[in-house]
Structure 1
Amino acid sequence: MEFLNKMAGKEYIGFSNATFQSEKETGDRNFAIGYYLKEKKCFPSGADMIAALDFYFQLCSIEVTCESGSVMAATLANGGICPITGERVLTAEAVRNTLSLMHSCGMYDYSGQFAFHVGLPAKSGVSGAVLLVVPNVMGVMCWSPLVDRVGNSVRGIHFCQELVSLFNFHNYDNLHHFTKKLDPRRQPGDARNKSVVNLLFAAYSGDVSALRRFALSMMDMEQKDYDSRTALHVASSEGHVEVVRFLVEECKVNPFMKDRWDNSPLDNAVQFGHQEVVKILQEYQTSFVLVEPGSELEDLGKLETLESMV
């Protein structure tokens, strides 16, 4: 339960004892399969088959909501890192194995057709729930209790089919030449320009809340405009103390970057006489350590930044 809580980002995870007792009383086929596997020596030496089945029935009795289920799906889509807490819950290998199983047999006897028509890893439940993962993009949990003869949600499957008919999410859709579908992963050409403008304008106006939203959405907080000025340059020039504190203490931006006139943020703060900002930047420069892009230290720093902001 603690593990699933981490996957769900502390959203609701419950347990239905009534479902557990019902599963045990009516699980004759599962017991039969268990004894057959035991006879064929499929269990490791010393394993307790009845205890394994008991644990399986408990897992079948865990309750989630659409909200908590969607976070679990998003954790799988995000390579095992919960997008709400920033905590690594699963290894990349475990995520790959889990998604492979979901893709091949997550939808009961309909799994082959689902893989053909939808082409995404999913897990169905006889309650009418469908947990869908779009790797590296998002996780979805939908619930509609009308199920078909194999136990899959009728409307849930229809939703998944409609989703991949509109968006370029099928595993075998061509990402470059399939022009009939939308692909939200591809940003328009001016997206970066808008990103820089929004970032620098928030720094100019002293809007820490907007900067926090940008940072949590994994925006590069060191982006430069055409004059090579960063958000820290702008905030230092305007004397926005809280913005400067946020950028250096929580975003850990580089304080030594120079604009086209060879000025650092500290130079701007000195030039415009913002003494408190000068003091903050001087203290920060003495402790700042430049981290190589793509290194483990950079990933760790991003995780610590997310945790501090959350």
Structure 2
Amino acid sequence: MTKVRGKPHNPMVNAGAIVICSLIKMGYNKAEKFDYVMQFLTKMTGNEYVGFSNSTFQSEKETGDRNYAIAYYLKEKKCFPNEADMMAALDFYFQLCSIEVTCESGSVIAATLANGGICPITGERLLSAEAVRSTLSLMHSCGMYDFSGQFAFHVGLPAKSGVSGAVLLVVPNVMGVFCWSPPLDKVGNSLRGIQFCQELTSLFNFHNYDNLRHCARKLDPRREHGEVRNQTVVNLLFAAYSGDVSALRRFALSAMDMEQKDYDSRTALHVAAAEGHLDVVKFLVEACRVNPFVKDRWGNIPLQDAIQFNHLEVVKLLQDYQETYSAFLQQDAAAPASAEDVSKENLESMV
């Protein structure tokens, strides 16, 4: 692909846009179609600035030879609807190419796409979830001209650039970004805009294929630490309450702290002992080696809960484990075993 008058030569994207312009509000005249799009974009921006540049429109019409050629080729291949006016579609296309936004209003458009089609300022649903998914898929695959493949590889987020130097970036379910810096690279993208996007995903794990759990080198602003911890405690204690050893095994293998406490300072071992779930208690003490001497807010340890509810097998298991645990602590203080050996032993017992 070549560069013509400072603009990237991207006939596939232009062809699709021209055909789409013939499909918007079919049966309406050009003024009505343009008013419809302007009103829709104004809603997308949360009533922020959306303008129109007549000089850009006239320039597009005068220098749009390639677009005229594409339109005639599309007409020959019968890509337009039967009742569509090709020249009217082209005029409408040139009008849409001349719409202006600011960084503020453009960022709200990006945020609306990131928010599943609901404008974050007004709370109004403007696009269906399916339309947003399709739009972001197109942006991800061809929104950055000839650089789209490399952008998808290095940044991994849906974006759309413009020859004005603008870059609209969407981080789904998180935020929208709009930046503007006129110096362009050889394919018509903002040099600094591309650099910003690359640095953003090098600092935060926003890339589509960054691992949210194990990407330790990057920050994750999506993680709400207090909320996540509360949810893991609930899941852990509920699994112990219901006797779900499989769930507890998954938690342990995912490096969850199996000694977490709820607001009453009760652990999973407290709950399992009180409910009499022998298999759960056995897993917690043999595979996870949890501390059996943790006291809840009433001063009770798991063994006392098992005695209170007369779970004799659990009582015997916990008594034996308390002796082993105490001996292990003494041995560990004298000659500590390597963490690697302990972890390997625990992993084998879990599996």
| TM-score, L = length of structure 2 | 0.54
Where does residue 106 of structure 1 map in the other structure? 143
Deviation at 1:174, TM superposition (A): 0.9
Where does residue 153 of structure 1 map in the other structure? 190
Deviation at 1:52, TM superposition (A): 1.1
Where does residue 163 of structure 2 map in the other structure? 126
Where does residue 214 of structure 2 map in the other structure? 177
Paired residue secondary structure (1:189) = helix
What amino acid is the match of 1:29? R
Paired residue secondary structure (1:163) = helix
The separation in 1 between residues aligned to 2:78 and 2:136, in whole angstroms, is 27
Paired residue secondary structure (1:80) = coil
Paired residue secondary structure (1:130) = strand
1:171-221 alpha-carbon deviations (Å, 9 max, x no partner)? 11111111111111111136888xxxxxxxxxxxxxxxxxxxxxxxxxxxx
The separation in 1 between residues aligned to 2:81 and 2:73, in whole angstroms, is 14
Aligned residue runs from structure 1 range 1-310, under 5 A: 1-189=38-226
Where does residue 199 of structure 1 map in the other structure? none
1:246-289 alpha-carbon deviations (Å, 9 max, x no partner)? xxxxxxxxxxxxxxxxxxxxxxxxxxxxxxxxxxxxxxxxxxxx
Paired residue secondary structure (1:75) = helix
What amino acid is the match of 1:185? R
Which structure 2 segments of 5+ residues have no match? 1-37, 231-262, 265-351
Deviation at 1:117, TM superposition (A): 0.6
The separation in 2 between residues aligned to 1:48 and 1:112, in whole angstroms, is 34
Deviation at 1:99, TM superposition (A): 0.6
Deviation at 1:48, TM superposition (A): 1.2
The separation in 2 between residues aligned to 1:75 and 1:7, in whole angstroms, is 7
1:71-100 alpha-carbon deviations (Å, 9 max, x no partner)? 000000000000000001111111111111
The separation in 2 between residues aligned to 1:168 and 1:31, in whole angstroms, is 43
1:97-150 alpha-carbon deviations (Å, 9 max, x no partner)? 111111111111111111111010000011100000000000000011111111
Cα gap change, 1:120 to 1:35, in 2 (>3 Å) = same
| TM-score, L = length of structure 1 | 0.61
What amino acid is the match of 1:188? H
Where does residue 232 of structure 1 map in the other structure? none
The separation in 1 between residues aligned to 2:56 and 2:66, in whole angstroms, is 17
The separation in 2 between residues aligned to 1:128 and 1:101, in whole angstroms, is 20
The separation in 2 between residues aligned to 1:81 and 1:174, in whole angstroms, is 27
Of all paired residues, the percent bearing the same amino acid is: 84
The separation in 1 between residues aligned to 2:198 and 2:64, in whole angstroms, is 32
What amino acid is the match of 2:68? F
Count how many residue pairs are aligned between Structure 1 and Structure 2.
Answer: 196
Paired residue secondary structure (1:38) = helix
The separation in 1 between residues aligned to 2:221 and 2:145, in whole angstroms, is 30
The separation in 1 between residues aligned to 2:181 and 2:126, in whole angstroms, is 28
Instruction: Name which one, 1 or 2, has greater alpha-carbon Rg.
Output: 2
